[in-house]
Chain A
Amino acid sequence: MCRNLLFLCPVFWAFSGAVSGAEPIGVVKTLVGSASIVRAGQIMPCRMELHIFVNDVIQTAVDGRVGILFSDGARMALDPGSELKISRFQFVPSRKDFGMVRGMVAYISGKIGHFSPESVRMETPVAVIGLRGTHFVVSLDGN
């Protein structure tokens, strides 16, 4: 990695943290192209290290791809043209609800630190998908 880049990055990094006191439930760790977050009716561009909260809606553009690391260790990625709402996030017992409207999503449970099996519920227009750990993909467009 280029030394100059390493030198400059902390400047942006220092301004990229939390603005409010509420603890996030996740953070954007991979981003290609463009994507947006809809929060409390406001739409904002997605960026690396953006903190994610419950009820956020993640939308990827036709060129956009986003990866989120959740606070319980679970990981999720959205392919271009996806839309998903995080409607519930609970630690104990581990439970997450998502509302997936379109696109393609990959998910891996965070097993580290999990003493009870995780339960994930993903509502889609065609069916409700229930997951008990660990790794699955959903495509609503059938690619």
Chain B
Amino acid sequence: MNKTVQFAVLFLAVAFIAGCAQRKIATPVAPLPAPAQKVPVVVLLKEADGTFGRVTIRNAHGVVQLEQPNTAVKIVSADSGPGAPEVMDDSEVRRRFGSVLRALPDAEIRFTLHFLEASDTLTAESEALLGQIAKVIQDRRSTFVSVTGHTDTTGTDESNYQLGLKRAERLAEIVKTSGVPATAFWISSHGEGDLVVKTPDNVAEVKNRRVEIVIR
């Protein structure tokens, strides 16, 4: 067996063992780092709801893909390809990455409020949410709140853009009265361009007559 064949066999063996846990696009043979050495590492994790994505790690010497949560790839340097995927259990993830994971902010909070037809008057149900919205903004000390107005398909595109804007502005005005700084609001309108319930033109639909508020 010449050296190239030996190398290829080793390569395939490594690829096969690794491939049992992970699909690999390529497994470049990289020198293993000394255990104490600090080596860059990428870890795929799952979100609180259990969903997870996919990570591809690529440099001039190879490509490795992570498709399962709690798997990690080490990259010794730019001069060698990413290593084979390894399992990293939750306790190891916490030990190594707990501090940075705890520094992740809370997710944004969203509310959707509905309006009477062709009007910037809130439905009674939505009006009841105003206190809660103001409280969330205050509790989070938010300075970045998006308020986006939407309409149903009755009326023209232009009048609906204006109506959406009027709804968003009206809502921001109401919330401001509870002490939220005016500079915290980013107001816009999508008019009838972003329907929740897809309808033909000139259809009144309360679910489309809304303002979406995102509190960060």
Contacts and interface: CB of A to CB of B under 8 A. Distances in A.
Interface of A: 9-10, 13-14, 16-18, 23-24, 27, 29-30, 32, 48-49, 51, 65-69, 71, 73, 75-79, 104-106, 108-113, 117, 124-143
Interface stretch (B16-24, B32-40, B123-131, B163-171): B32-40
Contact of A126 (B75, B144, B179, B182): B75
Contacts of B105: 29-30, 67-69, 75, 77
23 contacts: A16-B143, A29-B216, A67-B103, A69-B108, A77-B101, A77-B103, A78-B100, A106-B100, A106-B103, A110-B107, A127-B57, A129-B55, A129-B57, A131-B56, A133-B53, A133-B54, A134-B47, A136-B44, A137-B45, A137-B97, A142-B38, A142-B40, A143-B97
Given A129-B55, A138-B41, 8 more contacts: A10-B179, A13-B181, A29-B105, A106-B104, A129-B57, A134-B47, A135-B47, A139-B97
B88 to A, nearest CB: 10
A123 B138 CA distance: 37
A142 B55 contact: no
A141 B108 CA distance: 30
A71 B216 contact: yes
B181 A134 contact: no
Contacts of B47: 108, 111, 134-135
Interface of B: 37-47, 51-59, 69, 74-78, 82, 93, 96-97, 99-108, 110, 138, 140-144, 146, 179, 181-184, 186, 214, 216
B45 A111 contact: no
A68 B108 CA distance: 11
A132 B102 CA distance: 22
> Which of B41, B45, B110, B144 counts the most chain A CB atoms within 10 A?
B144
Given A30-B105, A68-B105, A134-B47, A126 B100 contact: no
